[in-house]
Structure 1
Amino acid sequence: MSVDDPEYPSPNIRDCRRLQGPNRYGPAPGAVVTVAVVDDEARRAVDHWPYAARRLTQALGWENIEFVARHSIGDATCYLSAPIDGLMTATAVAEMAWVESEAYVDQREVPDAAPALRAQYAEERARHPHVRELEAGALTRGVAFSIDDEAVSVGSGRGVITWAHGEAPASASVAWDSVSDIPLIMVTGSNGKTTTTRLIAAMWRAAGATTGWSCSDGVFVESDVEKHTLGLGDYTGPGGTRLVMRDADVQVGVLETARGGMLRRGLGTTNATVAVITNISADHFGEYGVHTLEDLADVKAVMIRALRPEARLVLNADDATLVALGERLATVHTVPIVWFSMNADTELVADGIDAHGDGAVLHDGHLMVCREGVWGDAGRVSEMPVTADGAARHNVENALAAALTASCSGVSLSAVHVALRRFGAALHDNAGRLERYAFGGITVFVDYAHNPEGIRALCATAAAVPATRRGLVLGNAGDRDDDQLRALARAAWSVAPFERVIVKEMVSLLRGRPAGELPALLVDELRRVGAPTNCVSISASEFEAVHELLAWAQVGDVLVVPTHAERGRVTGYLEQLRTIGWRAGDSLPDSSFTA
């Protein structure tokens, strides 16, 4: 293909991708094509797409294929399930079915794509021998199956076997008696995913298990005596899941599972023990057909497609969107739902305990966990470092989610208690999430807060700390729409006024917006809600914004610093200031510092 060739066979195709595991459209792998829908003709083409796709899959000899054509705002998604050894061919089927559907509406002829698709599928099957029968063998035996572009595996952790593509044996040759699964815990939500993931991993380590976990910072394997890194960066998609599952040292896997990975590639496992959804709030609207909180909740709920029959789904009873989700799921799924709440009298928690024996609440300052009908005390919240003496209410909620989820996956209450008493005592236990620096007469809160609810929780925690003045760095990535960005500014200002707000530009996260547009929008909203003109300014980068705020600071100030683009540089600079004994009001070291 030359650089001038179009990526897709129709200009109305926006995206086409493989889904390598359970996904939003069904439990089976497949392919999904997103198409622009701007008129009635395009809507008719979407409605015809399943018929065109069925004709092509029948020509390939594929049986029991599911088809979904779903309209959205300005576009539509068309999905077909497919054999695991034909996912690339499935993307071609999805695209060519759209071409045929457009031709059907326009009443014109197009060449039959079936012969070329048959040839493509034959080549693809030759590159991936035996994967279909390995998938069937794993399903029959109730163990996990996973596949990516490099390898295929059955089982997980200490019970895994992995082969490179082209080397996978026939199912009859596999030593299935040695294949098994470790407990796998999936964590998602709009806020608190990484903290909850790290807490659950810490609870399992306190129970003595070598624990692997994937999160937005990387993939790690850790026991009480050693820790090693499998990858650094955002591993909240199926790639992180597979790295954990394919490490033979791992006894328990804890998997942060973000919306983006589920939508782009599906889930990375088929055999999870517990799944938890921490909360739902407005974020990433307009992407992949997600336009409402209900849409977002339904995407998060994709995790239930990977749960074992006896598994638990843990939900937040204080989140109205998740309460509604639980009601919808109860009518179409049999997965047991259990609940946690900051209110000890929440009826949903009691209902979950009556039905399934499990639940968790905050009661009289203590985190109480019910497992198999028996209540236990996981500790006083004010003694849990991650809660900042109880001031960080959002981390109290995360601790509830983690304690119930870990308990449902097999962790004893004593191990939960130990982990909650220890986690967060060291500054970088929860790197990038509510890290509290106290030095030089000031307090600095560093956090990843990236949406209105997250920034509101961060500012509320900081507001609970006495301060002479308060300063804030504010910004976000450019892929949020204008309404979400304005809501971010309103959320920050709604908790308590700041004497200084520095809005940051992040060139690496413009994501299609022109430089300067996003900071100008945030400044406009801040002024609209009452921020004085002389307290708000714009800085050219995240680090420069933090440096400017530190230069402004005086003894007694509290600074709130959400970091998204240069966290390592920011925290490294703060560590440097603490090490050299810098005090607020002193001149600052050279801002050219790099971590």
Structure 2
Amino acid sequence: MNIELLDSRRLTGPNLFWDWPGAILDIAIDDIPVDLVVSAWSEEVTRLMDAMGWNTENICSRVFEGGASLVINAPIDVLYAACELNEVALNRAAAWLSDKPLPDLDDAISLLSAQVVKESDPDLLALQEAAARQHVPFLWDDDEVSVGFGKTAIVWPADQLPTPNTINWQEVGSIPLGIVTGTNGKSTSVGLAAAMLAASGLRAGITSTDYIRVGEEILDRGDYSGPGGARTLLRHPQSEAVVLEVARGGLLRRGIGVEHADGALITNIAADHLGEYGINTVAEMAEAKFIVRRALGTDAPLILNADDPESVRLAATLANRIIWFSLDAGHPVLQAHLEKQGGAAYLSEGWLVLAEEGKTRNIVKAKDIPITFGGAARYNISNALGAMALCHVL
């Protein structure tokens, strides 16, 4: 029997498993049925969570080829302790399965309780709850905590938080926020979206795998496609609208960097970066990319590529509002959606067309978009269609 811990980490935002933060273990399993390992872990983690006074209903697992992910929910102020608790549960389960003496339970509970007490931050939880009541954005990390986006954002050091009743909540608000993910075309799409937003008079900020930018000012170069880049940009006082490039790695490692967005674009799904975080097939990669839907409310649309088979397949299982885009005006998925008065963006007779509630508008000729090289680069026409649909809802 071999149970190997591959990774133990915090999930700080909506993720592959649910909409809440938590702690996750990725493990490799060999020479023992996976269901036995998961069952033993579940029993041990439930016992430990009970001792901490945490909700034991919020545990789950995901089995993949050669292993499993083991996930628990916990308050945001004690996620490091939650990771430790999860590891203790796995160690106890492994000992039981291999007929070895179990580590002392009382000692484990005592150590975990002390860690929870040390990490507990009532001020952080109070601010989180107050922001939710006021329906304003809330961001947190180990160093800073903030409410509001853009020029209305108020940022504090994590160890100097105010009481909620000292905040003028009327001055705290949001800004248009879009998310872009997919296998190809993410950086191009956020760049196109930023140009469209700028043309409408907004100072647009973007994160990407290349840099973080507000307006024409590049704040820093590097890969900012994770939650850290999102927080930096959304807290920037000059951001008037934001489009975030969100990569697979950040989604799987931490979750989405925001809880709510006005729209999310998935460019396409393909076989890329398989074999990491238990994602081994294109279908599983599609599920990972579709994590972004968890940031969308009832009216915020998921913008999908009708020319991408995986997106079409997975969309059929969702209740989200969808806007389809396609290079083929006669695509069956697109046509069925339009018949129901759904929103869409598509290429027709050389025009990028926007359709909504049975009405259509010709927006721009494909050949007039520089990156399409006179309309020859159809992949960039597709990127422009997705970006256009996203900006329309921001």
TM-score interval, normalised by the smaller of the two chains:
over 0.9
Residues 338-487 of structure 1: pairs in structure 2 closer than 5 A: 338-355=323-340, 357-409=342-394
Q: Secondary structure at the match of 1:121?
A: helix
Q: Does the C-alpha gap of structure 1 residues 175 and 259 become closer, same or farther in structure 2, counting only changes over 3 Å? A: same
**Counterpart among 311, 317, 332 of residue 306 in structure 2:** 317
**Counterpart among 18, 26, 32 of residue 26 in structure 1:** 18
Structure 2 letter corresponding to 1:101: A
- Establish whether residue 61 from structure 1 lines up as the match of residue 53 from structure 2: yes
Q: Secondary structure at the match of 1:367?
A: strand
User: 1:218 maps to which residue?
Assistant: 211
User: 2:151 maps to which residue?
Assistant: 158
> Offset at 1:205?
0.3
The answer to whether the 8 A contact 1:49-1:69 is kept is no
> Offset at 1:48?
2.1
Residues 538-557 of structure 1: pairs in structure 2 closer than 5 A: none
The answer to whether the 8 A contact 1:276-1:313 is kept is yes
Alignment partners' CA distance in 1, 2:41 and 2:129:
29
> Offset at 1:138?
2.2
**Counterpart among 322, 340, 344 of residue 337 in structure 1:** 322
Structure 2 letter corresponding to 1:277: I
**Counterpart among 252, 261, 267 of residue 263 in structure 1:** 252
The answer to whether the 8 A contact 1:47-1:69 is kept is no
Alignment partners' CA distance in 1, 2:23 and 2:299:
29
The answer to whether the 8 A contact 1:129-1:166 is kept is no
Alignment partners' CA distance in 2, 1:141 and 1:50:
36
**Counterpart among 162, 167, 170 of residue 174 in structure 1:** 167
User: 2:116 maps to which residue?
Assistant: 121
Alignment partners' CA distance in 1, 2:70 and 2:265:
28
Structure with the greater alpha carbon radius of gyration: 1
The answer to whether the 8 A contact 1:371-1:408 is kept is no
Deviations 1:304-344 (A, max 9, x none): 11113320000000111100010122xxxx32011001111
> Offset at 1:274?
0.2
The answer to whether the 8 A contact 1:276-1:405 is kept is yes
Alignment partners' CA distance in 1, 2:320 and 2:135:
17
Q: Does the C-alpha gap of structure 1 residues 57 and 355 become closer, same or farther in structure 2, counting only changes over 3 Å? A: farther
Cα-Cα RMSD: 1.7
The answer to whether the 8 A contact 1:336-1:356 is kept is no
- Establish whether residue 51 from structure 1 lines up as the match of residue 43 from structure 2: yes
Number of corresponding residues: 390
Structure 1 letter corresponding to 2:351: H
Deviations 1:165-222 (A, max 9, x none): 1111222332222221111100000000000011011100000001111001111000
> Offset at 1:244?
1.2
Q: Does the C-alpha gap of structure 1 residues 373 and 164 become closer, same or farther in structure 2, counting only changes over 3 Å? A: farther
Deviations 1:54-102 (A, max 9, x none): 2112211223651111111112110111101111111101111101111
The answer to whether the 8 A contact 1:18-1:30 is kept is yes
The answer to whether the 8 A contact 2:50-2:56 is kept is no
**Counterpart among 225, 228, 231 of residue 239 in structure 1:** 228
> Offset at 1:389?
1.3
Q: Secondary structure at the match of 1:32?
A: strand
Alignment partners' CA distance in 2, 1:407 and 1:64:
42
Deviations 1:438-476 (A, max 9, x none): xxxxxxxxxxxxxxxxxxxxxxxxxxxxxxxxxxxxxxx
> Offset at 1:43?
4.4
TM-score if structure 2 supplies the norm length?
A: 0.95
- Establish whether residue 39 from structure 1 lines up as the match of residue 31 from structure 2: yes
Q: Secondary structure at the match of 1:35?
A: strand
User: 1:130 maps to which residue?
Assistant: 123
> Offset at 1:11?
7.2
Structure 2 letter corresponding to 1:287: E
> Offset at 1:367?
0.8
Q: Does the C-alpha gap of structure 1 residues 394 and 54 become closer, same or farther in structure 2, counting only changes over 3 Å? A: same
TM-score if structure 1 supplies the norm length?
A: 0.63
Alignment partners' CA distance in 1, 2:245 and 2:77:
27
Alignment partners' CA distance in 2, 1:147 and 1:114:
28
Structure 1 letter corresponding to 2:110: P
Alignment partners' CA distance in 1, 2:380 and 2:39:
46
User: 1:298 maps to which residue?
Assistant: 287
Farther-moved stretch of structure 1 (297-306 vs 10-19)? 10-19
Q: Does the C-alpha gap of structure 1 residues 148 and 400 become closer, same or farther in structure 2, counting only changes over 3 Å? A: same
Q: Secondary structure at the match of 1:311?
A: coil
Alignment partners' CA distance in 1, 2:202 and 2:273:
36
Alignment partners' CA distance in 1, 2:173 and 2:140:
17
> Offset at 1:247?
0.8
The answer to whether the 8 A contact 1:31-1:79 is kept is yes
Alignment partners' CA distance in 1, 2:52 and 2:36:
25
Q: Does the C-alpha gap of structure 1 residues 352 and 45 become closer, same or farther in structure 2, counting only changes over 3 Å? A: same
The answer to whether the 8 A contact 1:338-1:356 is kept is no
